[in-house]
């Protein structure tokens, strides 16, 4: 990522990592080319700025503000205070956005959501909460931000309509959440042959472990994951999938008797029984065909276990 700082008179210096909750990620379309957009945020006449600029032609990403500083992009101060923002070059209702651009943009959103602990969810508000600290936070368009003088009007102070109708939110959310669905542990029996509530039910038992295929679809307001169950791909509503993906400090529970190893795939130190809970203590390691997590179990055992047999507690 290229670093091209915005001029100091176009943003507010802050220390948000310690002082202010970052809970929104605001998606914009710039109404211009990337170079022009970067130049504008470096121009003292602009009085606007945003953290990232993505070039819709090349996928190049430029950072213009430190995350702890407050960009002037939402058109309402509390949303500026509690958000990060990204401009995508291009034009509202005209530009065709490529998967390359969605992937680049989603990658920074995924990182930010983990770093600042807000949900990796696209919010489908007509208008986001009047109070920027309301709701759960997440990813929204500039066109969903309330007007500071009248919360029933969208688009911030100037009624912005970006990112517009060409921005494919379902596709974007697929990229935002892709990494999360590998592997999945199914919570209940709602597995279907197609991504549709009316599709035929598949013969998969509750608690089955599926492997992500990378396909994610949003249909009728429900997000569906395509998971592979023993070689047969089927569809599951996202809310029925418990991810075998954890952050350090989160709790996990074993879904079978499970080995605790000195290293990922290494020497076995102990076996803990099914239903044992523990705390994740490190980043995952992928090796030997599994994703390994280091845990300290509640019984005192500590070491690496395979994520396939762990679910979030």
Q: Which residues bind Zn ion (CB under 5 A)?
A: 28, 142, 160, 162
In the complex, the smallest distance separating the C-beta of residue 157 from Zn ion, rounded to whole angstroms, is: 11
Nearer to Zn ion, 85 or 264 (CB): 85
Q: ω before 163 within 30° of 0 (cis)? A: yes
53 neighbors 28 (Cβ within 8 angstroms): no
In the complex, the smallest distance separating the C-beta of residue 108 from Zn ion, rounded to whole angstroms, is: 16
Nearer to Zn ion, 142 or 178 (CB): 142
Residue 113 CA to residue 121 CA, distance in Å, equals 9
Sheet containing strand 222-229, strands side by side = 232-237, 222-229, 209-219, 184-186, 241-243
In the complex, the smallest distance separating the C-beta of residue 19 from Zn ion, rounded to whole angstroms, is: 25
In the complex, the smallest distance separating the C-beta of residue 309 from Zn ion, rounded to whole angstroms, is: 45
The DSSP-derived string for 140-195 is: EEGGGSEETTEEEEESTTTT--TT-TTS-HHHHHHHHHGGGGSSEEE-SS--BSSS
Nearer to Zn ion, 162 or 173 (CB): 162
Nearer to Zn ion, 41 or 229 (CB): 41
Beta-carbon count within 10 A of 240 CB: 17
12 neighbors 72 (Cβ within 8 angstroms): yes
In the complex, the smallest distance separating the C-beta of residue 13 from Zn ion, rounded to whole angstroms, is: 22
Nearer to Zn ion, 28 or 253 (CB): 28
């Amino acid at each position: 990522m290229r670093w091209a700082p915005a001029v100091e008179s176009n943003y507010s210096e802050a220390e948000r990592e310690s002082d202010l909750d970052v809970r929104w990620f605001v998606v914009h379309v710039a109404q211009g080319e990337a170079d022009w957009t970067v130049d504008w945020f470096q121009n003292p006449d602009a009085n606007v700025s945003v953290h990232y600029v993505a070039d819709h032609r090349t996928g190049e990403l430029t950072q213009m503000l430190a995350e702890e500083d407050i960009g002037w992009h939402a058109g309402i101060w509390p949303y500026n205070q509690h958000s990060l923002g990204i401009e995508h070059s291009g034009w509202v209702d005209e530009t065709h956005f490529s998967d390359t651009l969605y992937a680049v943009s989603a990658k920074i959103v995924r990182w930010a959501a983990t770093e600042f602990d807000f949900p990796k969810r696209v919010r489908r508000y007509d208008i986001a909460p009047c109070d920027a600290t309301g709701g759960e936070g997440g990813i929204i368009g500039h066109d969903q931000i309330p007007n500071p003088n009248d919360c029933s009007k969208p688009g911030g102070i100037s009624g912005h309509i970006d990112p517009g109708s060409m921005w494919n939110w379902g596709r974007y959310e697929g990229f935002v959440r892709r990494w999360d669905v590998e592997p999945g542990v199914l919570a209940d029996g709602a597995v279907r042959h197609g991504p549709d509530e009316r599709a035929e039910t598949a013969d998969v038992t509750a608690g089955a472990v599926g492997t992500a295929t990378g396909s994610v679809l949003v249909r009728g307001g429900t997000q569906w994951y395509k998971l592979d169950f023993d070689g047969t791909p089927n569809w599951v509503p996202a809310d029925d999938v418990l991810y075998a993906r954890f952050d350090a400090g989160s709790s996990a529970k074993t879904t079978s008797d499970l080995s605790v190893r000195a290293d990922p795939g290494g020497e076995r130190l102990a076996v803990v029984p099914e239903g044992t809970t523990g705390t994740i203590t490190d980043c995952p390691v992928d090796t030997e065909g599994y994703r390994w997590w280091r845990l300290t179990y509640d019984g005192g055992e500590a070491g690496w276990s395979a994520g396939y047999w762990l679910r979030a507690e």
